[in-house]
Amino acid sequence: MLRLHPEISRAVLDELALGLVLVDARGLVTWANAHALVLVDRTLDELVGRDVRALSLPYTAPDPRDGEPALAVHGPLIGLTQRAAATGGAILTVCERSHPLVGFLGALVSGLPGRVAANGVLPRAAVKGRLEAEVSRSRRYTNPLSCITVAIRDADPDATGSALARVLKEQLRWVDVLGQWSDDVLLVVLPETTAEAATALRAKLVDAFAQAVVEGAIARGSFAIGCAAWQRGDSAERIVARALASARERRSASLRSVR
């Protein structure tokens, strides 16, 4: 485990593109990072000691009985409040509603369609929302965007999907999003990723999955991997369909070469 000096930790938190606000057991603000101060247009002195519920912050007290995080929206801001068991207070994470992490924050909330599954894979509603947001960004700014699909073949989707997800997460960046597109298809959303980079990652995943087969972690021939890059006019469904089609084409070419 990496341990940082408290001053270095505070400097890192100050530079995050997310607002962080610490609240004590009485609901009073004890600290906020620089980005939180920008979002609410206040100084630290103006926040510390104030009741968080009286401020223009998207705060909802988490339920102390189950410890589940609570999501709230206030104007252009969205906030995720998590209980801090050590202090009895809470940690509020704040960002703009247009922030790329909004889909993930929603996925953390209990009872919503975006709840994270036990294996850390976002369900369809959450990953589809994130892909649609990235497609919208690409349409507006022409940012590169790609996705990878892993279709499960002739195997138990739950058991095989969990095993494949573990291998996938070892190869992905923190900005990449892994979700369940359908019962038998895993989807990886790759923001700021060109077609060439996605193809290279696909090859890397093929090798990683092959090694997992050798080690007995996943069954042989239980998956098909495809990739596609965003093109002008693409919707979320269209880019995923192309990725699935590319997996079928690669599989057919492989079978022809064997013959």
pLDDT beyond 60 at 68: yes
Question: How confident is the model at residue 116, as a pLDDT?
Answer: 45
pLDDT tens-digit series, residues 90-110: 999 888 876 655 555 555 543
Q: Write out the two tokens for 219.
A: 């069954």
User: How far, in Å, CA of 126 to CA of 31, rounded?
Assistant: 31
- Pair 169, 150: CB distance under 8 Å: no
Other C-beta atoms closer than 10 Å to the C-beta of 169 total 14
Residue 29: name the closest of 17, 45, 13, 6 by CA: 45
pLDDT range class, residue 163, cuts 50, 70, 90: confident
Q: What angle do the packed helices 195-214 and 157-171 form, to 10 degrees?
A: 120
Report, as an integer, the average pLDDT of 63-70. Answer: 68
pLDDT tens-digit series, residues 210-231: 898 888 878 776 789 999 999 9
**Cα-based distances in Å from 143 to 18, 55, 140, 206, 246:** 22, 36, 8, 26, 22
Q: What is the pTM of this model?
A: 0.58
pLDDT beyond 90 at 48: yes
Report, as an integer, the average pLDDT of 195-202. Answer: 96
pLDDT beyond 80 at 200: yes
